A = this chain, B = another copy of it.
């Protein structure tokens, strides 16, 4: 029997050589997602978390930031600007951080409220003459479309921008793009997510974005709701948000990748704001016709024990690393999660 060989690695020249020095990474936004990102980064050898910003301040330390100190400061004092000694209070935190920090790539863990916000942040990077990699975990089709309009400017600026690189869009969109390979034609891509969070207050911005998808709500109305109003809404629904036919950029991303027209892509899910256990297994089903004329469905299913934070931040940094490989080769412009394989970050 030919057993699996356990020979040592041949150590070939890697096709996408990893930098020997860890990548210097920044995180913009320090709510639930930004704080999770800091925790994800902390044990990595290949990335060093050196910069972070919130609305009122930023922190930068070329030797690396400490997640515990940053999270404690943010929660107790309301801004990273109070961090000793690396914090700086500012009225233009992103601009100040861009100018001060040496960073290879930023994860934009910002709530996209208003819906034009992420594109305006990208413009700030372009205008500052900054060069490097930007990654977002945007959700809405219309928000990704605004970035598509910046394609040429990003390319000229020397910025490699990876958009839609969270869980959905992101990990599940990429799984759909991959699964599509077995088929001659794609009939349907159906994403169904389950999210469970113990306490919605740790994800205030994310929950407001979800509420904006509900019947009778929109982005402006959701953003304008007080915490008490959100609480009252969740009281009515027993803490459950049921979302159907959502405006999710998975559709435009799969269309751009040439996989199917956007109307064949649907996204929906159930968010339980009072239970960390997921109400259903997040999955994407890809249905198509093979070259022999058979109709079939591939399925990619996420383990229930993986949190939204793990499924968003992990891929985001995987795409950041892949983006750095592109950037090092002089490949700039806009890319989506459906076009590029994320690189695992150790």
Contacts and interface: CB of A to CB of B under 8 A. Distances in A.
Contacts of A145: 7, 10
Contacts of A217: 1-2
Interface in A154-176: 155, 171, 174-175
B344 A341 contact: no
B335 A307 contact: no
A124 to B, nearest CB: 21
A291 to B, nearest CB: 5
Copies of the protein in its oligomer: 2
Interface of A: 1-7, 9-10, 12-16, 18, 36, 39-40, 43, 141-142, 145, 148-149, 151-152, 155, 171, 174-175, 177-184, 186, 212-219, 245-247, 251-252, 255-259, 262-263, 266, 287, 290-292, 294-307, 309-311, 313-315, 318, 329, 331, 333-336, 338-344, 346
Given A10-B149, A181-B344, A292-B309, 13 more contacts: A2-B212, A12-B256, A43-B184, A171-B178, A175-B178, A182-B310, A291-B314, A296-B305, A297-B303, A298-B303, A298-B306, A299-B299, A329-B331
A310 B292 contact: yes
A258 to B, nearest CB: 5
Contacts of A184: 40, 43, 314
Given A5-B247, A40-B291, A152-B13, A306 B182 contact: yes
Given A16-B339, A344-B258, A303 B314 contact: no
B341 A341 contact: yes
Sorted nearest first, the 3 A-B pairs with minimum C-beta distance are: A296-B303, A296-B305, A290-B310
A39 B314 contact: no
B294 A305 contact: yes
Given A4-B141, A39-B291, A178 B341 contact: yes
Contact of A4 (B14, B251, B309): B251
24 contacts: A1-B213, A2-B213, A4-B246, A4-B262, A5-B142, A12-B148, A12-B149, A12-B334, A14-B256, A36-B291, A182-B303, A183-B306, A258-B346, A290-B314, A292-B310, A296-B306, A297-B303, A298-B300, A299-B299, A299-B303, A300-B300, A329-B329, A329-B331, A340-B341
Contacts of A336: 15
Contacts of A5: 141-142, 247
B247 A9 contact: no
A152 B182 CA distance: 31
Nearest to A46: B258
Which of A178, A216, A263 neighbours the largest number of chain B CB atoms within 10 Å of its CB? A178
A294 to B, nearest CB: 4
A311 B291 CA distance: 10
Given A5-B141, A14-B256, A178-B174, A299 B298 contact: no
A246 B309 CA distance: 35
Contact of A216 (B1, B174, B303, B304): B1
A247 to B, nearest CB: 5
A333 B12 CA distance: 11
Contacts of A266: 4
